[in-house]
Structure 1
Amino acid sequence: METYRVKIGAEGEISLPLELRNLFGLAPGDTLDLCVDSEGKVFVRTAERSVEPLSDFFEDLIIGDLHSAGFTGDELKNRLLEQKLKLSTVLDRMAEEGYRAHKNFQSVKWRAIQSIKSLESMKSSPTPYQVVVTTRGIHDLAVLQAAELKEIPAVLSQLEEDPLGFKRLKGPYYETYRVSFRCGHKEYRVVYTIFAPENLVVVLTIGKRKAIFEKLNGIA
């Protein structure tokens, strides 16, 4: 996550850096939402792009953590909503960072990743979508075992052909989806965002479902 430091003016105004204004397409007169969670963290987003809470992506895991922390009743419901909104915001932030990384030549076409090249022969024919993996995704692949890695080429090949054919996550502003697959008795996810005008798929994270949940919580 990148951090930008801004100063507060005499009347409480702040000036956003040009890079952020360009990234979000902000113009004079636009409205921003400032959201504060129970830990005092502040999230800034454009009003017309406000995200909604994730539908059910990790609800069972969030509830399990909240029960362990002693939350019940209305307090549990409020905390659940807050956590789901926080994870939606994290996914949007990851999508923005992934797209920016791609534009800065800091992403890799998935077939060029060394750990995958040995598992899948290169295609010579073009595909409808380009699938790229950022540094975060490459790190995810590095911790997978050989048996787990063998499942990845088939999944990413499908994304090259039809990334819209999988489950869209209800919550994030961006077109963010997830693919489920199993290796043995464990559940895995590939979470990705589609940037339709460029026929681009940016893989945000890959791994065991619970590991992704813990990672997103760590970023939040």
Structure 2
Amino acid sequence: METYSVKVGTEGEIILPSELRKLFGLVAEDTLDLCVDSEGKVFVRTAERSVQPLSDFFEDLIINDLLAKGCRGDCLKKQLLDCKLKLSSVLDRLSEDAYRAYKNGQSIKCWDTQALAPMGIQKDNNALFDVMLTTRGVHDLVVLRKAELREIPAVFKCLEQDPYGFKRLRGPHYETYRVSFRSGTKEYRVIYTVFAAEKLIVVTMVGARKAIYERLQKDFSF
């Protein structure tokens, strides 16, 4: 059994070591229960997970689905929280799969994809990050219409220079973000993970917001 030492601050606050925060998958504003047994032993468990980083990530679509299933009041609140926590884990799973694909040589540079190569766009020699796509991401580009596809090069150019300038969708362990853009009346998302040590960005999903939501539901049953 591992033992960790923590100090109590002047206001009674306790700072958990980063190893524990990572182990529990904790983010800011999570709530912990401290349980004391009859022998004075203290046990820690997660009481309530914060979903603030996912506050508007498909929330309206999730609520509509739950309402259609008859969830109301406390049931709706609980089910919404459960769905968001599952979605947080899904983001990490996508990130793990993306990194594994990169290490196994199964990802492709964005400008070499079938969809973007004909545009003749080359990587900026001053780019700070490499933008790669998973097989899923490549497929997503192929099925986009021309009007939607025209928006993608500008997005990838921005990511090459500063991937941290967009909304973070934080899972417990990985830095996952999304870029939003609109084509016609539809909202679109580019979801990607930043692997800072490798100066690498791996795009995991691209598409209409609702289509991505429905695909995540189907693939991961959150």
Normalising by structure 2, report the TM-score: 0.75
Correspondence list, 1:21-170, <5 A: 47-49=23-25, 52=49, 53=51, 54-123=54-123, 125-170=125-170
Task: Report if aligned partners of 2:192, 2:202 keep a CA contact under 8 Å in 1.
Answer: yes
In the TM superposition, residue 55 of structure 1 has moved relative to its aligned partner by 2.3
Asked if 1:192 corresponds to 2:192, the answer is yes
In the TM superposition, residue 170 of structure 1 has moved relative to its aligned partner by 4.0
Q: Which moved more, 1:202-211 or 1:114-123?
A: 114-123
Any gaps of 5 or more consecutive residues in structure 1? 1-27, 31-45
1:63 maps to amino acid: I
Q: Distance in 1 between matches of 2:178 and 2:172?
A: 12
Instruction: Sort the Cα spacing of 1:172 and 1:154 in 2 relative to 1 into closer, same or farther, 3 A.
Output: farther
Q: Distance in 1 between matches of 2:2 and 2:93?
A: 23
Q: Distance in 2 between matches of 1:187 and 1:120?
A: 26
1:177 maps to amino acid: Y
Give the match's secondary structure for 1:205: strand
Give the match's secondary structure for 1:194: strand
Instruction: Sort the Cα spacing of 1:91 and 1:123 in 2 relative to 1 into closer, same or farther, 3 A.
Output: closer
Q: Which moved more, 1:147-156 or 1:104-113?
A: 147-156
Instruction: Sort the Cα spacing of 1:29 and 1:56 in 2 relative to 1 into closer, same or farther, 3 A.
Output: same
Q: Distance in 2 between matches of 1:112 and 1:126?
A: 18
User: Please, what is the CA RMSD of the aligned residues?
Assistant: 1.9
- Cα deviations by residue, 1:25-69 (Å, 9 ceiling, x for unpaired): xxx969xxxxxxxxxxxxxxx734357533221111100111111
Q: Distance in 1 between matches of 2:126 and 2:111?
A: 13
Task: Report if aligned partners of 2:147, 2:183 keep a CA contact under 8 Å in 1.
Answer: yes
Q: Which has the larger radius of gyration?
A: 2
Q: Distance in 2 between matches of 1:198 and 1:123?
A: 17
Instruction: Sort the Cα spacing of 1:165 and 1:207 in 2 relative to 1 into closer, same or farther, 3 A.
Output: same
2:85 maps to amino acid: L
Instruction: Sort the Cα spacing of 1:136 and 1:127 in 2 relative to 1 into closer, same or farther, 3 A.
Output: same
User: What residue number does 1:208 align with?
Assistant: 208
Task: Report if aligned partners of 2:109, 2:132 keep a CA contact under 8 Å in 1.
Answer: yes
Task: Report if aligned partners of 2:134, 2:203 keep a CA contact under 8 Å in 1.
Answer: yes
Aligned length: 178
- Cα deviations by residue, 1:162-212 (Å, 9 ceiling, x for unpaired): 001111124443111100001111100001110111111010100000011
Q: Distance in 2 between matches of 1:194 and 1:157?
A: 15
> Which consecutive aligned stretches of 4+ in structure 1 deviate over 4 angstroms post-superposition?
none
Q: Distance in 2 between matches of 1:188 and 1:199?
A: 25
Normalising by structure 1, report the TM-score: 0.76
Task: Report if aligned partners of 2:114, 2:142 keep a CA contact under 8 Å in 1.
Answer: no
User: What residue number does 2:19 align with?
Assistant: none
Instruction: Sort the Cα spacing of 1:114 and 1:215 in 2 relative to 1 into closer, same or farther, 3 A.
Output: same
Q: Which moved more, 1:46-55 or 1:166-175?
A: 46-55
